[in-house]
Amino acid sequence: MKLVVGLGNPGPEYADTRHNVGFRVLATLARRHGIALARDKRLRGRYGEGDIGGVRTGLLEPWTWMNRSGEAVLAALDRLPIGDLATDLLVVYDDLDLPFGRLRVRPAGGAGGHNGLGDILERLGRRDVPRLRFGIGRPPPGVDPVDYVLGPFADEEAALLETRLALAADAVETFLREGVRAAMDRFNPAREESPVREEGSA
């Protein structure tokens, strides 16, 4: 089976923040495929599994707080029949260095300053972990990055968010069915214009 891990922080006060977009991509997948996510203390988070495109898939939201996300991932890998992490594990998270709504799939690499992914890579002792980055853009001048990621999406972004979450769920489905290379070819942008401008001008 395969495992998709969406990163975020537990609790209603964080539910609509930029930093929890990984949770929201998982919620989109769960609704689309009728997978119920429920608290699982053994896996240190909320978990559910089902069939996605003919692939048995687990969906995991770590509830360990962002900077200890690796604890939940290790617990899941210890209990679930996940094969090769380079092909059967996908981590979904927010990224300050991509414009809002931009998607970027990668098979490996560093954490790029993201504490959740960094903890996962450190605990696994490897960098070849596929990931889907969901762009949240940079904070405006004078706004602390911590306050920015823990704040809600701007109104303009919120109006487009469901569309971008659906596209991210499409990217996850492509990864599960066809692998990381197919997802990269289909969803990584050839250009770097902001999706807000592109969609707003359509």
Place of tokens 């469901």: 162
- Tell me whether residue 33 is one of the annotated catalytic residues: no
**Selection from 64, 67, 20, 25 nearest residue 45 by Cα:** 64
Please state, in angstroms and rounded to a whole number, the distance separating the CA atoms of residues 1 and 164: 26
| Cα 63 to Cα 70: distance, rounded to the nearest angstrom | 11
Identify the bridge partners of residue 134 per DSSP, sorted by sequence position.
94, 103
Q: How far apart are CA 33 and CA 66, in angstroms?
A: 26
Give Dmax (Cα) for the chain. Answer: 48
Catalytic residue, candidates 19, 24, 44, 164: 19
Residues known to be catalytic:
19
